[in-house]
Amino acid sequence: MSFFNRKVLVEFLGTTVFLTAIVGANAAGSPLRQASLALALGLMILLFGPVSGGHFNPVVSVYFYSTKALDLKGLLGYILAQLLGGLAGAWVGIAIWGGTLHYGGQSAANLVPQLGGEVLATAGLVALIAQLVITKRDNIIWVAVALWVFAAGTFTQTGAQANPAVSLALIFAGHSFTDQTLTIIAEFLGMLLAVVLLMVINAKDRKPAVKAARKPISKK
């Protein structure tokens, strides 16, 4: 198996496990569901990060494509693997508890607060990952992402999906198609917000040009 195919495979597997944790914990009604999904994601990054970078998230892959850390072939392969992994994980998570996937659900009465939370959660996630890469602290990404997902999941109405693969998969786990489509748009807006934030915090200060001192004209 080629190195590229291994990368795509682990992106699929990591996303599958991550979605299994989300959907399975929700199906169980576990009070620890936020901890479950945060730890599952962190551990998948720790396990597969050395192979693929451990994206498991289309907005993360699109960000790294924008920095030329990922080529177009890699981007398309990653996103396909992530979306399929999300659907597979949703199926496994439901099946563990004896349920079946079902398409769509009732739309929320007021989506604005939910979408705002998704913009914030995604912006924080992308900015955190990118800044750790920029500052060469890649080794702590797995724990930093787990902590952010846990934290953001507790203060957002959506549980901080912050991931189009998650949002798509949840359409087949009882969530509204319209709500999830708008959530995906909000997530990409969050990525753009993260890019702006990174440009601001990493901008280099421009030093004022020092004018060369004029030498006095010597009088003969």
Q: How far is CA 65 from CA 17, 72, 89, 117, in A?
A: 24, 7, 25, 25
Quick one: tokens of 100? 């079946």
pLDDT in tens, 191-215: 999 999 999 999 887 666 555 555 5
29, pLDDT greater than 70: yes
Tell me the pLDDT tens digit for each residue of 161-196: 999 999 999 999 889 999 999 999 999 999 999 999
Per-residue 3-state assignment (H helix, E strand, C coil) for 120-176: HHHHHHHHHHHHHHHCCCHHHHHHHHHHHHHHHHHHCCCCCCCCHHHHHHHCCECCC
Tell me how far apart the alpha carbons of residues 193 and 114 are, in angstroms, rounded to a whole number: 17
The Cα 118–Cα 59 span in angstroms is 12
Percent of the chain with pLDDT over 90: 76
Residue 150 pLDDT more than 80?
A: yes
Confidence of residue 58 (pLDDT cuts 50, 70, 90): very high
What's the pLDDT at 48? 96
Number of Cβ within 10 Å of residue 74's Cβ equals: 20
Q: How far apart are the C-alpha atoms of 44 and 116, rounded to whole Å?
A: 27
Tell me the average pLDDT of the chain.
91
pLDDT for position 186:
97
Please count the other Cβ atoms lying within 10 Å of the Cβ belonging to residue 206. Answer: 6
Measured between alpha carbons, how far is residue 115 from residues 7, 18, 143, 197 in Å?
Answer: 31, 22, 26, 19
pLDDT(67) > 60: yes
Crossing angle for the helix pair 58-66 and 112-134, to the nearest 10 degrees: 50
Asked if pLDDT for residue 23 goes beyond 80, the answer is: yes
Average pLDDT (114-134) is 96
pLDDT number for residue 208: 60
Read off the pLDDT of each residue in 99-123 and give the average, rounded to a whole number: 88
Phi-psi region of 213 (alpha: psi -120 to 50; beta: other; left: phi over 0): beta
- Rounded to 5°, angle at Cα 125 from 101 and 19: 20
Domains along the chain?
Answer: 3-201 (1.20.1080.10)
129 vs 33 pLDDT, higher one: 129
